[in-house]
Amino acid sequence: MNAVDLLIIGAGDRGTTYARLATAVSPAARIVGVADPREPYRQRLASRHAVDPSRVYSDWREALDAERFADAVVVATPDRLHLEPALAALERGYHLLLEKPMATSIADCEAIADAAEASESIVCVGHVLRYTDYTRKVKLLVDSGILGEVMAIQRLEPVGFDHFAHSYVRGNWRREEEAAAALLTKCCHDLDWLRYVVGRPVVSVASFGVLKHFRPEARPTGAADRCLQCAIERRCPYSALRCYLDRAMVGERGWPLDVVTPDATPQRIVEALATSPYGRCVYACDNDVVDTQVVTLAFEGGALATLTMTAFAPMGLRETSVFGSLGRLMGDGTHIDHDDFLSGTRTSVGVTPPDAAGAGDLAGHGGGDLRLVQSFIKAVVSGDRSSVLSSPVDVLESHLVAFAAERARRTASVVRLTPTS
């Protein structure tokens, strides 16, 4: 195969990102179809990639029911809508790039993993953190034995106060019944990363989480239901005007503005803030996902790990410390420091920055977005699955850990797991 023709199902942020990366980094990739129920978004993506109008669909079923016209499908629909298009694509013999999380229930995740294992298709789940040079080097160091026995890992996911307000208070992931628990939708990356780096199954999990701040009782005196009418919004870090309009006024047009409206001009932003969920006061929303959560994992062999997810930090890189019997690693995705206990020295390990190869600022997640797409296309072109590090079977266990952690949080208990392999 010399070229890879891609059908994009879901023309939101992730679908658009994968499409742009694919064509930016690989001459073998072409976007030949798009399906999305939102006309402005599907037309925007179709226009950017010169998709034939006959291959622009409002319903993914129409796209997959048509005579096959692509080699691979990207499923980047809302999380709760992954199962049906993923299974349909596999049934029709398409290769599949499936955005994380695989699905929002254990049964659906297992169904996708089973279908992928039974299929001859190449299937890749969007766990982009597995593909970074940083992750590769951390895993190599851990596996080399330079730390001795891994005793514990401490990981922080600083979601970002403005990012959390956008996505998890006002936005698409604010309610569990409409999406899933924040731990699954945001931190399945981190649980998967911990499992991948340690290289051993998780045998038990505990968790505590709260929705403490983004509630009506925390609402400041004088706050209005919408930021456009609020007399104190300039004194609020979560102001929608600060988050969206101020950025539009200085010429920004990308995420998160293009989620609020596909035409992210200041005028359109103001119009959207007057009527859409994104203009609401963060203390007057219908959100119910936790804003802070701590998860503790026990791995086979005795290693322990903690993951802290919090809204209450500047949006930044994930911070990780790996504690071993002979040394410690500290890193944030861009650098790694190694403390050697025997010599008493600290060594910095270089991390290769992502080569965007014309992809501009789209090589997100420390280059993981870029390298995942490259790996998927390489596998499809060559037929060699070895470049895909995140098949559904590979990542099923970390999804099950997320569900177990939520069960532990809700029941205030320690949940024991049976390893999947």
Q: Which of 179, 177, 167, 419 is nearest to 309 (CA)?
A: 167
Question: With 50 as the cut, is the pLDDT of residue 359 above it?
Answer: no
The 10s digit of each residue's pLDDT in 259-279 is 999 999 999 999 999 999 999
Q: Show the domain range for 300.
A: 130-214+287-355+393-416
Q: What CATH number does residue 310 fall under? A: 3.30.360.10
Q: Looking at the domain assignment, is residue 367 inside a domain?
A: no
Average pLDDT score over the chain: 95
Classify residue 141: in a domain, yes or no: yes
Q: In the chain, how many domains are there?
A: 3
pLDDT, residue 350, reads 86
The answer to the question of residue 368 being in a domain is no
Using an 8 Å Cβ cutoff, are 370 and 21 in contact? yes
Assess whether 411 and 268 both reside in one domain: no
Say if residue 116's pLDDT is above 60. yes
Residue 242 confidence (pLDDT): 97
Co-location of 269 and 305 in the same domain: no
Domain boundary among 121, 145, 160: 121
Same domain, 291 and 174: yes
* CB within 8 Å of 414: residues ≥ 6 apart: 204, 205, 206, 408
Residue 356 clears pLDDT 50, i.e. is over it: no
Residues 227 and 189 in one domain: no
In angstroms, the CA 23 to CA 253 distance is 21
Is 90 a domain residue? yes
Is 364 inside a domain boundary?
no
The verdict on whether omega for the bond into residue 256 sits within 30 degrees of 0, i.e. cis, is yes
122-145 mean pLDDT: 97
Nearest to 166 by CA among 311, 21, 301: 311
- What confidence category does residue 419 fall into, taking pLDDT thresholds of 50, 70 and 90? low
Model-level pTM greater than 0.85? yes
Same domain, 208 and 310: yes
Which residues, at least 6 apart from 55, have a Cβ–Cβ distance to it below 8 Å? 7, 32, 33, 34, 46, 63, 69
Residue 182 lies in a domain: yes
- Residue 137 and residue 76 share a domain: no
Question: Residue 39 domain-assigned?
Answer: yes
Instruction: Please indicate, yes or no, whether residues 37 and 21 belong to a single structural domain of this protein.
Output: yes
Same domain flag for 210 and 231: no
CATH of the domain at 97: 3.40.50.720
**Domain check: are 225 and 200 in the same one?**
no
- The three-state (H, E, C) secondary structure of 244-303, written as one string: HHHHHHCCCCCCCHHHHCCCCCHHHHHHHHHHCHHHECCCCCCCCCCCEEEEEEEECCCC
- End-of-domain residue from the set 121, 151, 167: 121
Peptide bond just before 353 cis, omega within 30 deg: no
Residue 293 and residue 264 share a domain: no
One domain, residues 112 and 33: yes
291 and 194 co-located in one domain: yes
Q: Which of 279, 301, 321 is the last residue of a domain?
A: 279
Percent of the chain exceeding pLDDT 90 equals 92
The span from the CA of 288 to the CA of 216, in Å, is 12
Report how far apart, in Å, the C-alpha atoms of 243 and of each of 25, 240, 258, 260, 362 are. 31, 5, 12, 11, 21
Is residue 366 in some structural domain? no
Per-residue pLDDT at 58: 98
* pLDDT at 77 (0 to 100): 98
Q: Where do we find the tokens 């790039």?
A: 97
